[in-house]
Each structure stands twice: as structure tokens, then as C-alpha cells.
Amino acid sequence: MKLLTKRGIFVKLFSTLIISFLAIQVKSQNVIAYTDNRGYFNIFDNGVTTVADYQAPQSFQIGGNCVAFVDFNNSLKVYYKGEISTLYDGIPTKYQVTHNLVVFNVGGIIKVFDKGNITTLSGYAASYQVGDSLVAFIDMGKGAFQVYYNGKIQTMEDFHVTQNILGYNTSNNTMAYLTYLSEFKVFWQGNSYNIFKLANASYKVDYQTGSNIVSFTTNGFGLNAFYKGNTYPLSNKQITDYQTGDDMVAYNDAGGFHAFYAGKNYDLNGFAPDFYLVADSMLIYYTPGFFYCFNKGKKEVLENFMPTEYAIDNNTLTYVDLQGGLKAYYNDDTYQLSTFDKLIGFKLVGNAVWYSTATVYNQIFLKGKTY
């Protein structure tokens, strides 16, 4: 997932309404967490509901296989496979939950909870970035640029030999970086790839990462993509702008608007759209009178207007129509979730849509069904 709001894009989702129920389902996992009207913190996992705490947590985040939360007594805890354990007896400086990991920072000490195990990544991290299944970090104590992936820490660059790196960027399972010697490299699925070396100091590389993909341009001319171990030339023209998601890059050049998806290039429009956005592996864009969705290689017109309230996550799109009703686009079908009944609020995480109207509270739409 491209981190635009950490696990999705939310535009004007809520008013100041305070609700007593909040349910979130992430990706394809059956993990839901919510605080009920008694103030109890509940976790629903594959049909079984557990009261995680009888007091509402100070904060919580939900991943694909766990829930991390700071409880009422200021401890960071995690729910994983039916059990609750304490990660840290205190409030961490920061914690992040992804589809596979819980990464927490305690005064510069970076730790990761992965499949039930806690690993200390660095005792002195100058910086770090978190993806769904990896953590990239600069360890100043060891003098190295390292990546945690699949239970192991790998050294990408040893600063005693190469000095510091010039920059890096991570996504779900992919990381790209520029070395001190201006070498552009990619880390993907545990392997390192040397892409190229900049010719001299006048050359600059701009790059973005997504799941399985890194897009890059040199001095704004031409666009290429590293995708699943191979490099693809996308354009040899001047690039106006581009956005990268999961297995996808959308871009504007002198020839119009295009998308590269899953190894194939698509010409979508002869001119730049008024608006476009890539999130996960979905692209939405608008030209006057046409609101498009490009998903899994298919282009479809959804509306004749540009929605002002919408959310995208995990190949599901939700938006408010001109009548104030809520719609969901999933798996090539559009669903009318609400109509003239006043929409109070909605939220999308993974493929699950939570929404409430003036007369019906706390409904969930998931993969074509409403609960």
C-alpha cells in the first residue's frame, strides 16, 4: 500500500460526530476492533469476540493479523492469535501497525513485533521507514543502512566503506535508495538490485516505490519502472508528473495520460486529466464530465461528476454521490449503500466500509454484502 493516509485515503470522511461504535476490517483478514456503548474494547477475530479491556484504549491500530493498542494504564499491548501480550510498559514514542508488523519506537530504540516475536532493530536509529513487511533504517551505532525483512536484518550499505546514503524510500515490500556514490539500488523480496549509477553531479534521480515496483526518472526526462526484478521503459518523453501504487504507475507526458500496470503499458487519454490519484492498485481520474476508475487493467466511467468525498483502499472505492448517497465500487460493480437517508459518516479500511445514516446505524459493506 502507498502510504497517503498510512493504510488508505480519506477525504472529508467525518464531521464532528462522536460515535460509540467503530469497526475496522483490514485487507483479507477477519480482525475487527471496536469500542462498544459500555466503553469496553472488543476484538473480533474470525468469529470469536474477545473483550481486550474493560476500559477504552488511549489509541489503537489494526493490522492484517493483529491489533496494537495503548491501554488505559499507559502500556503498549498487542492482540495476536487470540492472546494479548505487553510490548512495552509505557507509552512509546511512536508505534505503527502494518499488514504484517508492529513497529514501535522507544526513545530512538526501534523494535518490531513479527509473528509473535519481538526483535530489536536498532539502539540508535537516525531514521527509519516502515512497509507492510519490511523496515528500512539507518543504524548510527553500527554505522550501516539496514533492512529488516522476513525475520532477518540485512546490511545494505556499510558506512565504514561507502559513507552515508543520500536517500531512501520504502513501500509494502520494496525499497529504493541512492548511495553516497550516486548508485541507485532496489531491495525487493530479500534481494538487492543495482539499477544504474548517475553519470555526474548534474544528474538527479526522482523515484517512488509501491508494492513490487519502483518508478524513476532522471532529470525529469523519461520514465522507467523496476517491476518484479525487471526494468521497463515507460516513456522517453518529458514527464510532467507521476504517481506510484501497488504494481502500478500513472503518469503524464507529452503524449498524454498513461498507466503501467502488472507489466503492461496503457494509453488512457490524449491529454492530462484535471485530477488523478493512485492508491494501492487502483487509479481514479477526472476529465470534464467523466469520472473514471482504472482497476486491474480495466477502465470504466463511474459518474459524470467528480466526487468531493471519497475513500480508496485495497481495490475498493467509496464515494458520496450528488444526492448525498454513499456508493461503493468493488470488483467491477457499483453498489448503492445509501440513498436519501442522511449519511452521517463513513470509513473504509481494507475492503470493509463502515457507514451510518440518520435512521440506520453501524452498517458494514464487505465484498458485495451488507451486514
Dist. CA 234–CA 228, nearest whole Å: 15
Whole-number pLDDT of residue 8 = 43
Whole-number pLDDT of residue 361 = 77
pLDDT > 80? residue 99: yes
User: Which one has a higher pLDDT value, 361 or 340?
Assistant: 340
Q: Which strands form 83-88's sheet, in the order they lie side by side?
A: 59-62, 66-70, 76-80, 83-88
Question: 311-352 pLDDT, tens per residue?
Answer: 998 889 999 999 999 999 999 999 999 998 899 988 887 777
Instruction: Determine contact, residues 298/284, Cβ cutoff 8 Å.
Output: no
Question: 21-74 pLDDT, tens per residue?
Answer: 444 443 444 577 788 778 899 887 766 788 999 999 999 998 878 899 999 999
Question: 215-226 pLDDT, tens per residue?
Answer: 999 988 899 999
Question: 137-188 pLDDT, tens per residue?
Answer: 999 999 999 999 999 999 999 987 667 899 999 998 999 999 999 999 999 9
Q: What type of residue is 91?
A: I
The bridge status of strand 59-62 relative to strand 282-287 is unpaired
Whole-number pLDDT of residue 30 = 56
User: Which one has a higher pLDDT value, 365 or 152?
Assistant: 152
Dist. CA 145–CA 32, nearest whole Å: 36
Supply the DSSP string of 203-272, one letter for each residue: --EEEEEETTEEEEEETTEEEEEEETTEEEEEEEEEEEEEEE-SSEEEEEETTEEEEEETTEEEEEESS-
- 8-state DSSP, 142: T
Dist. CA 20–CA 17, nearest whole Å: 10
CA torsion, ordered 227, 233, 238, 239, to nearest 10 deg: -20
Provide the CA 69 distance to its chain's centre, in angstroms.
19
Q: How many degrees, rounded to 5, is the angle at CA 106 between CA 86 and CA 89?
A: 30
Task: Tell me which long-range contacts 37-44 makes (C-beta under 8 A, separation of at least 24).
Answer: 41/69, 43/67, 43/79
Alpha-carbon separation of residue 76 from 34, 43, 224, 270, 347 (angstroms):
17, 16, 42, 52, 25
| Of 138, 122, 207, 127, nearest in space to 169 by CA | 207
Whole-number pLDDT of residue 371 = 77
Whole-number pLDDT of residue 37 = 75
Cell digits for 79?
492482540
Q: How many degrees, rounded to 5, is the angle at CA 289 between CA 285 and CA 292?
A: 30
The secondary element (H helix, E strand) that includes residue 162 is helix 159-162
What does the longest C-alpha to C-alpha distance in the chain come to? Answer: 66
Question: 225-268 pLDDT, tens per residue?
Answer: 999 999 999 999 999 999 999 999 999 999 999 999 999 999 99
pLDDT > 90? residue 83: yes
Q: Region 351-366: what's the mean pLDDT? A: 83
Continuous H helices in 18-58: none
The band of 11, judged by pLDDT with boundaries at 50, 70 and 90, is very low
Give the chain's count of helices (H) and strands (E). 1, 39
Tell me which of 4-8, 118-122, 330-334 is least confident.
Answer: 4-8
Q: Region 277-297: what's the mean pLDDT? A: 96
Beta bridge partners of 265: 260
pLDDT over 90, % of the chain: 70
| Of 343, 326, 362, nearest in space to 23 by CA | 362
What residues contact 257, with CB distance under 8 A and at least 6 apart? 250, 251, 267, 268, 269, 270, 271, 272, 273, 276, 285
